[in-house]
Structures are given as C-alpha cells and as structure tokens.
C-alpha cells in the first residue's frame, strides 16, 4: 500500500504538514500572510514558500500548488511528499527547488476554485491599468452557465444549450468563450477580475524574493482536473520552435509539448495566466514554464464542477441541502478520495518534479 500520509483533510492541516516537513528536511520556510482574511475556522491564509537548496542558487525550479484553490490539496501532497523523499541527496549543485504552497490560499481553505472575489487567479495576471482583453463570445455563454437552480433538470438544460452553442460556433471559439477567461461578468465563470488579487501580489512578491536572482528559472504549476483519470497531462504555452519549448521537451519528454492526453478538442486562447507572468517577471533569466494537470473526470464533468462552484457561491446558501451535495461532488472532482488516484498522482508528481530539477540542474 502506498504511503498517503501527505494528503490532508483541510487547508490548515496541509499547511502545517508542508511547513513541518520542509523544516524537518532542512528547507527554509517563508510566509506571505493575507493581512485580513481568514480561513473557515479562523486560520491564517498564507502563501508559504519552502526553499530546498541554496537561497542564492543560480538555477531555481519553482513548483506551485493551489492556483485553483481546491486543487491545492493534491499539489500540496505532491510538494510535501517530495520534501520527505530525501531531496538533499538528489539536488544538483547550485540548484534549488522552491515550493510555493497555496497560491490561492482563500480558495484552498474554502474549497473553492476562485479567490475571495470570484476571480480565477489563473486569468488575473493581466495589466489592470490597461483595457482588459475582450472575450465577446462569453456574453452568450454567461446566461447559460449562471442558472439560479442547480438541480438535475437545470444542469441538463445548461448542457443542452452549451451543446447547441458549440455546434453553432465551433470547438475552438467555444473553448475560448467558455474558459479562455473573461473580464466582463464579475459573477461569471473564469472571471479574470477587475483588480489585482492579493494572491497575484503575493505570488509576485515571492518570485522577486526567491527567484529574481536566478540565471535559470523554471516553474511547474500543479493542477488537477483536465486529463484522463489517474494520469497527468502537460500544457506548454512556449511557442513552437522556441528554446524554452525545446527544454520542456528535453526535461519531460515529447508529451510535455504534444498535448498527449488532453481531452479538450481545441485549447482556448488563455488570458492572464500565472506561468506567463512568471516568465515576464524574469526577462534576464532563461525561463521554462509548464502546467501539469493530474486528470480526474472527463471534460464535461470538469465544466459541470466549475459551473457548480459558481452556483455554490451565488445561490448555494439559499439551498443548503442541495449545496452540501453539490459541494461534495465539486471537491471530489478536483480532489478525488480514491486511494488509487492519490497513489498514482503522488508517484507521477515525484517523477515530474525530479525530472524538472534534473533538467534545470544540467
């Protein structure tokens, strides 16, 4: 039986486990604490950073968890298990692993995808002083995905209308409209925000403090959801033919760049994503970025869960019994309880992190 002790039942537990394991294994821990907000049990909300290796390493690999709140449970377990795996013996010279724990701590603690302002942190890294990117297709999506009721009949009607829209505008336009990110409807899905979120600020503070000195920098942003059950997929946004894309292929193999296993038929044009902000902040470094998704359910169920998460925030309180069931399904979608899934995810995450550290250390 695999050791699943790195998995936690709450944000506070995950945080304590991460910090304790980091300290016990010789990593140094830093915290970026939200000035006012607390978790559901009054616990502090922090982006915690563990530096494993030299603080001034010229090669720095960041692995982050919880960009999408609830997905942090799996990412946190991956980070904690990696810390507990004897990293000091495997770390190449002049190389550090810097773990960002709970990039969106409010969402993690409240078991939600977005921030306290219903913002998808992974769409929030845009220039808020300039006009926002437009996503005109979302105007048609919004009334479909925001029903007041979320019973079975309401969900069936939502999917009937989404199918109709997809058939009419095509797969790629549908993906961009649905989940590319939007800045027009604050109570909608994949909302990028009308201001920089605290989590955005904290992330950039942490990058300045722990990565800005590096000559070679890389980031693995750990997610769950997209991809086949018990397997992982990579999303690489570096352009075709770029040196960064070649590095991603060298480190993680062909599947790092060929979208193997991605269940989307056509990827959206994403706006304001975290790993792009990371690269933009480090103009003098050689930067490699990758998103890793540990697959859970099929795409339709991921869409259902994201719409359900939005319904919970705006309508759930008026339907407490239904909300409990819906939230349980939501959590199960992004943090499966099946021990086989957890064991597979841990094993794969260790290899992905080790490949990253070996790659940047070469």
Residues of this chain that interact with Zn ion (CB under 5 A) are 68, 71, 223
What per-residue string of b and e applies to 229-239 under the rule 16 or more CB within 10 Å gives b?
A: ebebbbbbbbe
Q: 91 vs 273, which CB is nearer to Zn ion? A: 273
In the complex, what is the shortest distance from the CB of residue 226 to Zn ion, in angstroms, rounded to a whole number? 8
Q: 48 vs 71, which CB is nearer to Zn ion? A: 71
In the complex, what is the shortest distance from the CB of residue 16 to Zn ion, in angstroms, rounded to a whole number? 23
What per-residue string of b and e applies to 299-313 under the rule 16 or more CB within 10 Å gives b?
A: eeebbbbbbbbbbbe
Q: 57 vs 292, which CB is nearer to Zn ion? A: 292
Provide CB contacts within 8 A for 287, sequence distance 6+: 217, 218, 219, 244, 278, 279
Backbone angles phi, psi at 352, to 5 degrees: -65, -45
- Is residue 14 within 8 Å of residue 65, measured between CB atoms? no
Q: 64 vs 188, which CB is nearer to Zn ion? A: 64
Nearest Cα to 190, choosing from 148, 132, 129, 257? Answer: 132
Q: 95 vs 296, which CB is nearer to Zn ion? A: 296
In the complex, what is the shortest distance from the CB of residue 292 to Zn ion, in angstroms, rounded to a whole number? 10
CA distances from residue 200 to 47, 125, 148, 206 in whole angstroms, order as listed: 10, 7, 30, 10
In the complex, what is the shortest distance from the CB of residue 346 to Zn ion, in angstroms, rounded to a whole number? 18
In the complex, what is the shortest distance from the CB of residue 71 to Zn ion, in angstroms, rounded to a whole number? 5
DSSP 239: P
Give the three-class secondary structure for 85: coil
In the complex, what is the shortest distance from the CB of residue 79 to Zn ion, in angstroms, rounded to a whole number? 15
Q: Report H helices in 125-261.
A: 138-145, 152-169, 171-179, 198-210, 243-252
In the complex, what is the shortest distance from the CB of residue 101 to Zn ion, in angstroms, rounded to a whole number? 15
Q: 273 vs 360, which CB is nearer to Zn ion? A: 273
- How far is CA 142 from its chain centroid? 23
Q: 28 vs 263, which CB is nearer to Zn ion? A: 263
Distance CA 315, CA 204 (A): 33
């Amino acid at each position: 039986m695999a050791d699943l002790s790195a998995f936690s039942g709450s944000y506070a537990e995950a945080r304590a486990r991460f910090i304790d394991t980091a300290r016990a294994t010789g990593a140094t821990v830093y915290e970026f604490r939200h000035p006012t907000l607390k978790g559901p049990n009054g616990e502090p909300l922090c982006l915690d950073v563990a530096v494993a290796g030299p603080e001034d390493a010229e090669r720095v690999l960041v692995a982050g968890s919880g960009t999408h709140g609830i997905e942090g449970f799996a990412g946190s377990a991956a980070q904690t298990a990696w810390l507990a795996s004897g990293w000091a013996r495997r770390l190449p010279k002049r190389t550090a692993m810097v773990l960002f724990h709970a990039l969106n701590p409010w969402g993690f603690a409240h078991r939600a995808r977005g921030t306290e302002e219903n913002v998808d942190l992974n769409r929030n890294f845009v220039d808020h002083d300039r006009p926002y990117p437009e996503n005109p297709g979302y105007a048609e999506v919004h009334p479909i995905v925001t029903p007041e009721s979320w019973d079975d009949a309401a969900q069936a009607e939502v999917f009937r209308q989404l199918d109709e829209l997809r058939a009419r505008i095509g797969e790629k336009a549908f993906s961009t409209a649905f989940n590319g990110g939007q800045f027009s409807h604050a109570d909608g899905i994949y909302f990028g925000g009308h201001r920089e979120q605290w989590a955005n600020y904290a992330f950039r503070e942490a990058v300045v403090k722990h990565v800005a000195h590096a000559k070679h920098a890389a980031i693995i942003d750990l997610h769950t959801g997209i991809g086949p059950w018990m397997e992982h997929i990579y999303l690489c946004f570096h352009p075709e033919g770029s040196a960064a894309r070649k590095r991603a292929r060298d480190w993680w193999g062909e599947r790092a760049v060929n979208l193997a296993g991605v269940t989307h038929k056509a990827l959206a044009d994403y706006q304001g994503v975290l790993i792009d902000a990371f690269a933009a902040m480090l103009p003098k470094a050689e930067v490699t970025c990758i998103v890793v998704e540990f697959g859970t359910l099929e795409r339709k169920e991921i869409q259902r869960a994201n719409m359900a998460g939005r319904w919970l925030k705006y309508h759930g309180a008026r339907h407490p019994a239904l909300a409990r069931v819906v939230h349980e399904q939501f959590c199960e979608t992004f943090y499966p309880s099946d021990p086989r899934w957890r064991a597979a995810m841990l094993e794969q995450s260790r290899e992905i992190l080790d490949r990253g550290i070996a790659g940047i250390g070469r």
